[in-house]
A and B are shown apart, each in its own frame.
Chain A
Amino acid sequence: MGASAETVLFWIFAVPLIASAAGVVAARNPVHAAMSLVSAFFWLAGIYVLLTAHLLAFVQVIVYAGAIMVLFLFVVMLLSLTDAELGLEKLSALKWVGVVGAAGMLVLVVSALAQSGPRAMRAVGADFGTVRAVGRILFTQYLLPFEATSVLLLVAIVGAVVVAKEKI
């Protein structure tokens, strides 16, 4: 892939990504926010492909845009909130402080990045980020965290059932 094509693709993925992320915050209806979030996850998967993280791009689409978003939409459906319950998002003074704080953090990080200078990408082999290569590193170097993750997911299953159950 040529250098200019990569730059064009970066902007094609980055601009809608930021727009749909802003849509999550701007939406009043939780279903609209969820749809914006699905869109953001898909654009982010494109960015992952540009970074030659092919396995993670697929995991992003399957786990985030598939499983986690279905969970969110199910909860939105179960709660069936009316407009009165959702309430108007009134921006009190404290919330403006929150917006200013987030903007300040952004300025801080971006200025630190600008000072650190350009970061040239290293040339990587053809198998970088593939299922085979990442799978090998997960099952050798990161075997213990990988197994701990299965315990974590089991705890999350039991915890979710216990918390959401009406009578324990």
Chain B
Amino acid sequence: MVPGTHYLALAAFLFAIGFAGVLVKKNAIIVFMCIELMLNAANLTFIAFARQSGSMSGQAIAFFVIAVAAAEAAVGLAIVIAVYRTRGTISVDEVEALRDR
């Protein structure tokens, strides 16, 4: 039997990779993909704890996380298209209208 720690460590690796991607990548679409990776890592943690405790509530929450991720992707990618249309770029370094200087 694989101990739950393995699954939680795997989720931590997945989250760290997604987190590094969000901080390092410039392309807004790839930044969104890395956010999806982080959401999946959170889901894996929920499901690992659900399996460990023998309760299915964690799986129900993971189901809702997937639904919220779908909504987030739809609205987020619409924002990416709107930004590309108005500014002609999707580099997160060049979209800086709200930056404090």
B57 touches A152 (CB 8 A): no
CA distance A161 to B62 in the complex (A): 26
A95 touches B24 (CB 8 A): yes
CA distance A61 to B39 in the complex (A): 15
Interface residues of B, dominant DSSP: helix
Instruction: List B residues 1-28 near A (Cβ within 8 Å).
Output: 1-10, 12-21, 23-27
Q: How far is the CB of A82 from chain B (nearest CB, A)?
A: 11
B19 touches A105 (CB 8 A): yes
Q: How far is the CB of B31 from chain A (nearest CB, A)?
A: 10
Interface residues on A, range: 35 or more
For B26, what are the chain A residues with a Cβ–Cβ distance below 8 Å? 87, 89
Q: How far is the CB of B29 from chain A (nearest CB, A)?
A: 5
A152 touches B48 (CB 8 A): no
B positions within 8 Å CB-CB of A:
1-10, 12-21, 23-27, 29-30, 32-34, 36-37, 40, 43-44, 47-48, 50-54, 56-57, 59-60, 62-64, 66-75, 77-82, 84-85, 89-91
